[in-house]
Structure 1
Amino acid sequence: MSALKHFLFPDHAPNSGTVKAKCKYCPTYISGNAKTTSNFVTHLKRKHRDIFIQSKSEDGTQISQTNISNFTKSTSVSKYSANDASQMQITDALVSFVAGNLTPLSVVESPEFKTFVESLNPKYQLPSRKHLSTKLLHQKASNIQSNIKEKLLSAESVCLTIDLWSNRQMKGFLGITGHFILDWCMKSIMVSCKRFKGKHCAENIRQEYEEAVACYNIADKITNIITDNASNMTKAFDFSLPGYTCNNEGKNSKSDSEDENDESELEPINIDFPEDDLPKHGRCYAHTLQLVVRDGLKYHFT
């Protein structure tokens, strides 16, 4: 039998060159290489003769010298290839975990996380942080966006809810959510959620909305747009000609931006817009109710 089974080798022993292995029966480290392993046999003979004789009698032959590289290869676990189905399935689950929980990308470099993954499946190869950030996450985002486009194109009509807010660092974000019925089931999906740079004016909000709608090619499917009661939101979605606001009933009046004291003899022109061409803009009922309650409490306690 081989003398190498009585020693503990490093996890990644070199195929050539000197390697040190610890004896299982004493704290001694023995040096050897791929070509010469007699040092291990000699140590057993001198320090652990009883084990040496017992091993020889059990096997019926002399303890042989085995190549170190062959010994370490037999104990190591072969990893999945990059195109292996199991490797790809686990990697997809890992990307969903990182993205879904907003987990730092450095988690794949954590020794504790590597140990955890190794204990679950020793054959799995963890992707590097760079590969995760530059390729895997982008592929996942592209697949999700393609799936959203497919669902939106299958819907007959879509209702959008739009909100603009700022975080504690006063960085603006614009979120657009789509709601539609598909296969007799109500569906809600995130159409867009991105940084909003610049002034929170109606023109910029309208521009971001149009870019999101054009990305998914659903401009002709939108029937309703729901926002809060902020003035910039209501102005952004008054689908009208410049200088006029639309009341969604085909009638138009001068916008608030016009000077009330304008003595011009020009009268506002009433234009009948086709009802199906423009989405209807509505204000969020919950937000309106919140404002009513807030104002009621304000006047009650003053």
Structure 2
Amino acid sequence: RKHRQLYLESTHVPACIGELEQPSVFSFMNKTDKKYSTTDPRQLKATDALISLLADDMLPLSLVMSASFRKFQTADNISNAYDEVTASYDLTGKVSNVITDNASNLLKAFRLPGFSTEPDSDDEDESKAVDLNDDLQLLTEHDSCFAHSLQLIVKDGFKDTASLNKVLSKAANIVSHVS
């Protein structure tokens, strides 16, 4: 099934923010007649944060929120931005799967959350013990994008075949002259 996509650029965010803050973002998406697809998200500035939320409501829906991201794109900052966006749409604990490319900062940002590196206290009250199985069911699953993974495999395969690179280079030159 195809996903409907709505790309919000920073120029559109102020105009839409009032409607997006209403209780249900899905009702807003269903009411919207025009699309805000302005650019490919890969062409946005590196300072723009792209948080993609997938939701299954009759038709799969992919919402890419583009907000100014002035911090370094570290795993901690990405994780905090994700938490802020899910909280702002009341989706905390409701997102079942997050799909990202294979960037190391994204992979690190979506590793198992909630585990601290601080040593446990021996004085902990047993009555406050938490059933770990219940908590593990609430964790969001993270997957790498299949298309990005496949692209890396193909790219690595082409590195080892010099003769094929010459043929592909000539074909690319022909295509660039035709188009």
- What is the TM-score when the length of structure 1 is the normalising length? 0.37
Question: Counterpart in 2 of 1:186?
Answer: 60
- What is the TM-score when the length of structure 2 is the normalising length? 0.59
Alignment of 1:1-302 (within 5 A): 138=14, 140-146=16-22, 148-149=24-25, 151=27, 167=44, 171-182=46-57, 184-190=58-64, 192-240=65-113, 241-243=115-117, 274-301=135-162
Paired residue secondary structure (1:197): coil
Quote the sequence identity (%).
26
Distance 1:172 1:139 in 2: 21
- Check conservation: 2:53, 2:98, Cα contact below 8 A: no
Distance change in 2, residues 1:176/1:215 (3 Å): same
**C-alpha distance after superposition, 1:213-239 (max 9, x if no partner):** 111111121111111111110110102
Q: Which has the larger radius of gyration?
A: 1
- Check conservation: 2:101, 2:148, Cα contact below 8 A: yes
Distance change in 2, residues 1:297/1:175 (3 Å): same
Aligned length: 129
Q: Which runs of 5+ in 1 are unaligned?
A: 1-98, 104-136, 153-163, 245-270
Distance 1:239 1:273 in 2: 14
Q: Which runs of 5+ in 2 are unaligned?
A: 1-7, 29-40, 119-131, 164-179
Distance 2:153 2:106 in 1: 19
Question: Counterpart in 2 of 1:43?
Answer: none
Distance 1:150 1:143 in 2: 11
Displacement after TM superposition at 1:140 (Å): 4.2
**C-alpha distance after superposition, 1:213-267 (max 9, x if no partner):** 11111112111111111111011010241349xxxxxxxxxxxxxxxxxxxxxxx
Higher relative contact order (CA 8 A, sep 6+): 2
Paired residue secondary structure (1:290): helix
**C-alpha distance after superposition, 1:142-174 (max 9, x if no partner):** 12442753549xxxxxxxxxxx9675xx64222
